[in-house]
Amino acid sequence: MNVVLDPVHGYIEMDEIVQELLATPQMQRLRRIKQLGFSNLVYPGANHTRFEHSLGAMHLASMLMKNLDSIGEGKKKEIRAAALLHDVGHGPFSHVTENVIDKYTRHRHDDVKEIVGKGEIKEVLKKHGISPGDLAKHVKGETSLGQILSSEIDVDRMDYLVRDAHYTGVAFGIVDYNRLINQMHFYEDRLVVDYGGLKAAESLLVSRFWMNTSVYYHHVTRISEAMCSKAVEYMIKNGELDPARLRQMDDTDLTAAMRNASGYAGELARRLDARRLYKRALYTGLEDAGKGVLKHRDKIERTEKEIAELAGVDPQCVIVDIPKTPEMLEMKAMIKADHRLIPLNEASHFVSILQEAHMDNWRMGVYSPKEHCEAVGKAAKEYFNVKKATKQFKLSDLEKT
């Protein structure tokens, strides 16, 4: 049994199968994939990788399973391996390229069956008597034990929240995961949290809420990720990038490909390198844009062209970013109290109000080079029929009166 020192969890124990899986090229690739994509343009310390997050998730899964006597040692080994491999399907810059990869290959990052079912990983799993197919089902949360890795409250979320907070330096990633893990167990084939862990579950929800606001949906992060996605799709359409190959790349591979790309993709790459990002021509919430704006999510390219025509600019000067309506799956986690199960948002009034607050933080963006922002912003407001925003007065305004 070897150990490795992790800045978040301290010493992490690694048994034989963990060490052998870490040595595979598929896992080593994760050392070169940033956990938070382009968030380091906002938070300079956000350079941590999927590799260390995978180790952290495996560590927390091991902690949780120590309390679950009903799981045999063979299954525990299987879940440790699944936790370690749960992100092996991520493309470069993590979630930045996920939608593009899904569009062209129909694979999301948790579709790992093909990856773990061949090559070095398959050989390690075979040596230790683990079925690649069963492991892939655990990763997708399709088995009872898979809830440890993929459910409303799982070890994946616990690790990335505390890890992302650590590396960004924000003060919102305080999750009492030790308490939470000690209060989790299986009840009627469902992974639940005992009532004694309610406050710890609340801490996870609060952390997720603030991390969404401050880190995951920061406007600079959204703009840079949208620019990267545009460059990647442009390269695929021009035959400069194979979508199947994209999934196997790391951040360095994709950065080099973008820098060598022609036309629009190359220009976006140069802007990202120099942090000369597009600016917010329009940035508004559902209250002003209306829920009807969500229908444009399925026709983004057409929307961008029509806004560009209204603004009298090249379509490449317009990037439309309409996120999905936010949801916090953690609210569906079950709390066990007096031999009955209660959804977390019913067990905690505090949690029940977070979903509404989460909706208030939703923003759609239309981005453009600085010199075209005024024209594009005016066109976008007209196109989406955005209500006139209520003027917010500052103290400086009051001093002038």
pLDDT digits (tens, 9 = 90+) for 68-96: 988 999 999 999 999 999 999 999 999 99
- pLDDT-flagged residues of the chain (< 50): 390-401
pLDDT the model gives residue 390: 43
Count the neighbouring beta carbons within 10 Å of the beta carbon of residue 26.
18
pLDDT the model gives residue 173: 60
| Among the listed residues 287, 294, 300, 309, the one whose alpha carbon sits nearest the alpha carbon of residue 382 | 309
Q: How far apart are CA 125 and CA 131, in angstroms?
A: 7
Cα angle for residues 111, 117, 118 (degrees, 5° grid): 125
Specify the 3-state DSSP secondary structure of 335: strand
pLDDT the model gives residue 360: 80
| Among the listed residues 141, 165, 156, the one whose alpha carbon sits nearest the alpha carbon of residue 61 | 156
Q: Read off the pLDDT of residues 241-272 as tens digits, 9 standing for 90 and up.
A: 999 999 999 999 999 999 999 899 999 999 99
Reported pTM: 0.92
